[in-house]
């Protein structure tokens, strides 16, 4: 077992703990991904088939990286475990077994925009103004109900009469479900809720899934929801081999359903479980590790764990007070320019912030300084031109999808209006005028030709064919503006993304590409940038990433910790502290904390006190930058 030689004692203990439930409390930078991949490799070396192993992680990016690490250990051609996010696992269960609850084999997944559009249509049909009740608010209510295991009908019967908002949400949800069914579509919440129903209501499906995956691994267990915890427990119930890795100190997603209790109570849920603690940090300098310890130890709702490291002390944390947000951005940009001149690659530098509105000033500062950057938050798959191509692809897989038909018919415009399409949907083709009928027949012929081609082609070549036959290439390149040609580059990039799935030809490979595209997250944008760039993102989006140099902007009271945390109860305050801990532990070598004396919020200049988190930092580990003439004692912490 020479492959275990590079592991420390605790990591080796975790890899060798192959039977029964195991929880690994893994601090930031403690090598948890290495432990997970080595444990999978160890199981396979012991004779467990790769197909019997399941690994679930938090983002598509993390899943891809884990998959590549396992492949590198096993060698090309080896049978790989199933490695995906929870939503990817849900998709797999529904594709294989979903027919039992009426889910189409080739279902599509609605993104947030698609869902809000359909909810908006439902509200309009109910004669409710979106000013009275926004589609986003209704969708959030539906999402919470799905997380609680309620169906639309159950929600309607239990809560539909409790208030005006609940009644409208219930009725809108029933219409929303009909629209999803008509389009053979699901939303993100369905990818967890429906597999749960499958496993609960169909013992044969549950038994098949349990036998398929005898060993289950879950990364970032602290960020799982109650429903995801139940799903994991159900899959692992027969063989009992549930291996979870997490860090309570990095629980930052309770606002979207994650529950810290899954990890806190693991040893009570599974009394026979082993608990292993990974405390050695391999990522950050000693100064950074000690500072992060001092911050997170103020929290009470955690399990005892103190990070240690053999790394060098490194540079102190720099705290900089600027006069305003614009000065803060300029100072950060100039610091980054100095790092770039010193040879630090731009992709090793990140600027993190608590709320999205902060990005405007930061972007302007980087643009003025000529620093290349990538703003996470504008997803590649949310761009109009990309969604147009995806609509064409889905329509080729299933020509009955009305929403995709409406979108594809106008991308590019071909003289087919919504009225014409409505007549077709209503079975009134005979009411079309000759000119309308000719345009429709031409459009349908293209869709039919693409559907035939989809049977044999690999995904990347099929994407290229769609771009050509749909007329999008001609419209954007030959007849379009300079801006249109930039849009064309985005849809060309879609073919590069599809090439990841070229190992599976035909409809299966194309459907897999569509499914993964629907589940893409913000971090996937980092892998899609050809130009090496500084990363600009919220702290939430930075979870799981690491950089040589990290700037955390906006270290002010009411901003970080955020002032909008409800009634500021202990749990909310602890989550904000955990979020700051996550921000600090993204840094490997250098950490800069910046704040502005004044910041314009909602058009009003406000005077800012320093964040209370700055008071948690040992003065011996920090230094105050005086570039703008402020003395250290100006920041009273």
Give 321's strand partners: 595
| Element holding 85 (H helix, E strand) | strand 82-85
**Residue 175 gets which letter from DSSP?**
H
Backbone angles phi, psi at 552, to 5 degrees: -110, 110
The alpha carbon of residue 173 and the mean position of all alpha carbons in its chain are separated, in whole angstroms, by: 24
Query: How many other CB atoms sit within 10 Å of the CB of residue 34?
Result: 15
The alpha carbon of residue 598 and the mean position of all alpha carbons in its chain are separated, in whole angstroms, by: 33
Angle 309-311-316 (CA atoms, 0-180°, nearest 5)? Answer: 100
- DSSP string for 133-191: S-HHHHHHHHHHHHHTT--HHHHHHHHTTS-HHHHHHHHHHHHHHHHHHHTTEEETTHH
Question: Residue 455 and residue 87: Cα distance in Å, rounded?
Answer: 26
Q: Using CA of residue 421, residue 423, residue 424, residue 429, what is the dihedral sign?
A: negative
Contact call for residues 551 and 322 (beta carbons, < 8 A): no
Give 318's strand partners: 592, 623
**Residue 591 gets which letter from DSSP?**
E
What amino acid positions are annotated as catalytic residues?
32-33, 219-220, 250, 586
- Spatial CA neighbour of 421 closest among 409, 412, 411: 409
For 304, the token pair is: 């005892």
For 103, the token pair is: 């889910």
Query: How many other CB atoms sit within 10 Å of the CB of residue 584?
Result: 27
Residue 346 vs residues 336, 532, 533: alpha-carbon distances, Å: 8, 6, 5
SS3 content of the chain, % helix, strand, coil (to 5): 55, 15, 30
Question: Residue 92 and residue 118: Cα distance in Å, rounded?
Answer: 25
- Spatial CA neighbour of 587 closest among 278, 286, 246, 245: 286
Place of tokens 């929290």: 299
Contact call for residues 247 and 26 (beta carbons, < 8 A): yes
Contact call for residues 290 and 314 (beta carbons, < 8 A): no
Contact call for residues 477 and 453 (beta carbons, < 8 A): no
For 131, the token pair is: 């000013």
Question: Residue 491 and residue 384: Cα distance in Å, rounded?
Answer: 10
Question: Residue 152 and residue 194: Cα distance in Å, rounded?
Answer: 12
**Segment 598-604 long-range contacts (CB within 8 Å, at least 24 positions apart):** 598/323, 598/324, 599/324, 599/325, 599/554, 599/556, 599/559, 600/324, 600/325, 601/357
Residue 625 vs residues 194, 452, 621: alpha-carbon distances, Å: 54, 65, 13
Question: Residue 576 and residue 590: Cα distance in Å, rounded?
Answer: 22
The widest CA-to-CA distance across the chain, in whole angstroms, is 82
Q: In what order do the strands lie in the sheet with 242-246?
A: 82-85, 53-57, 215-218, 242-246, 22-26, 274-278
Place of tokens 């001609």: 474
């Amino acid at each position: 077992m020479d492959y275990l030689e590079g592991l420390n004692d605790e990591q080796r203990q975790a890899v060798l703990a192959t039977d029964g439930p195991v929880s690994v409390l893994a601090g930031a930078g403690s090598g948890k991904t290495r432990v997970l991949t080595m444990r999978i490799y160890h199981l396979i070396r012991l004779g467990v088939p790769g197909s019997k192993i399941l690994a679930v992680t938090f983002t598509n990016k993390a899943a891809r990286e884990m998959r590549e690490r396992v492949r590198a250990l096993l060698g090309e051609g080896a049978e790989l475990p199933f490695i995906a996010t929870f939503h990817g696992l849900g998709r797999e269960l529904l594709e294989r077994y979903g027919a039992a609850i009426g889910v189409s084999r080739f279902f599509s997944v609605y993104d947030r925009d698609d869902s809000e559009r359909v909810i908006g249509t439902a509200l309009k049909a109910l004669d409710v103004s979106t000013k009275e009740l926004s589609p986003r608010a209704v969708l959030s209510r539906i999402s919470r109900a799905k997380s609680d295991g309620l169906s639309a009908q159950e929600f309607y019967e239990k809560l539909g009469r409790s208030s005006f908002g609940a009644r409208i949400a219930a009725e809108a949800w029933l219409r929303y479900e009909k629209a999803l069914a008509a389009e053979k579509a699901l939303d993100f919440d369905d990818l967890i809720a429906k597999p749960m129903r499958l496993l609960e209501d169909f013992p044969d499906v549950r038994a098949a899934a349990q036998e398929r995956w005898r060993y289950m691994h879950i990364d970032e267990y602290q960020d799982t929801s109650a429903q995801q915890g139940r799903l994991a427990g159900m899959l692992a119930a027969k063989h009992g081999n549930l291996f979870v890795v997490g860090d309570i100190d990095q629980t930052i997603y309770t606002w979207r359903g994650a529950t810290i209790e899954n990890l806190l109570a693991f040893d009570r849920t599974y009394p026979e479980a082993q608990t292993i603690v990974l405390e050695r940090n391999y990522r950050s300098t000693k100064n950074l590790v000690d500072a992060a310890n001092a911050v997170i130890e103020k929290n009470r709702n955690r399990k005892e764990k103190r990070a240690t490291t053999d790394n060098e002390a490194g540079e102190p944390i720099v705290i900089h007070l600027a006069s305003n947000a614009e000065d803060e951005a300029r100072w950060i940009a100039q610091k980054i320019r100095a790092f770039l001149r010193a040879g630090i690659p731009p992709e090793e530098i990140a600027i993190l912030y608590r709320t999205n509105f902060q990005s405007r000033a930061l972007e302007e500062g980087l643009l003025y300084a000529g620093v290349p950057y990538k703003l996470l938050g504008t997803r590649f798959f949310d761009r109009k031109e990309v969604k147009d191509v995806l609509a064409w692809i889905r329509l080729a897989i299933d020509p009955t999808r009305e929403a995709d038909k409406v979108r594809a018919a106008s991308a590019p415009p071909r003289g087919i209006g919504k009225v014409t399409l409505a007549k077709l949907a209503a079975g009134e083709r005979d009411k079309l005028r000759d000119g309308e009928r000719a345009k429709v027949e031409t459009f349908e012929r293209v869709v039919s030709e693409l559907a035939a081609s989809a049977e044999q082609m690999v995904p990347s070549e099929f994407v290229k064919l769609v771009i050509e036959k749909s007329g999008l290439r001609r419209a954007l390149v030959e007849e379009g503006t300079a801006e249109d040609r930039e849009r064309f580059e985005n849809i060309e990039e879609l073919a590069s993304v599809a090439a990841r799935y070229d190992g599976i030809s035909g409809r299966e490979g194309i459907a897999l590409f569509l499914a993964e595209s629907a589940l893409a997250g913000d971090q996937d944008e980092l892998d899609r940038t050809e130009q090496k760039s500084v990363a600009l993102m919220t702290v939430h989006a930075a979870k799981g990433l690491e950089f040589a140099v990290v700037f955390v902007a906006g270290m002010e009271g009411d901003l970080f910790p955020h002032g909008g945390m409800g009634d500021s109860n202990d749990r909310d305050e602890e989550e904000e502290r955990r979020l700051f801990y996550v921000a600090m532990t993204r840094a490997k070598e250098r950490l800069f904390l910046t704040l502005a004396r004044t910041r314009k919020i909602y058009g009003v200049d406000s005077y800012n006190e320093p964040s209370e988190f700055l008071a948690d930092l040992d003065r011996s580990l920090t230094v105050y930058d005086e570039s703008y003439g402020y003395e250290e004692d100006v920041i009273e912490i």
